[in-house]
């Protein structure tokens, strides 16, 4: 919840008071902070003695999760496209 509040505060500041002339510097700061976050996550993972042993199981679960997500997303988009796009492009609607 705290993360959402911080992000909402950033959106509000960006919409109301953040000057467009500083967007370039904000982009650089975002890249630096993201790089630092990824680096610190790598240090945390690398310091775990059993990390490489767990990596195989983590990878398989990640692959399964990604595969199921992609499959279900594709099915939903296909069905919604058929439903909403039916009747356009010269097709007759059954509704």
Cβ-proximal residues to 95 (8 Å cutoff; 6+ apart), any chain: 86, 87
- Contact criterion met (CB below 8 Å) for 91 and 84: no
71 pLDDT more than 80: yes
Per-residue pLDDT of 74-94, as tens digits, reads 999 999 999 888 766 655 555
Per-residue pLDDT of 21-45, as tens digits, reads 999 999 999 999 999 999 999 999 8
Confidence at 46, pLDDT banded by 50, 70, 90: confident
Ranking 18-22, 69-73, 85-89 by mean pLDDT, the lowest is 85-89
- pTM score, whole prediction: 0.53
């Amino acid at each position: 919840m705290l993360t959402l509040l911080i992000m909402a505060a950033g959106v509000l500041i960006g919409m109301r008071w953040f000057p467009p002339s500083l967007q370039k510097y904000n982009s650089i700061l975002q890249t630096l902070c993201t790089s630092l976050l990824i680096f610190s996550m790598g240090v945390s993972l690398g310091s775990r003695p059993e990390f490489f042993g767990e990596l195989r199981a983590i990878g398989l679960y990640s692959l399964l999760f990604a595969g199921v997500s992609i499959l279900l997303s594709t099915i939903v988009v296909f069905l919604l496209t058929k439903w909403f796009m039916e009747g356009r492009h010269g097709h007759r609607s059954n509704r």
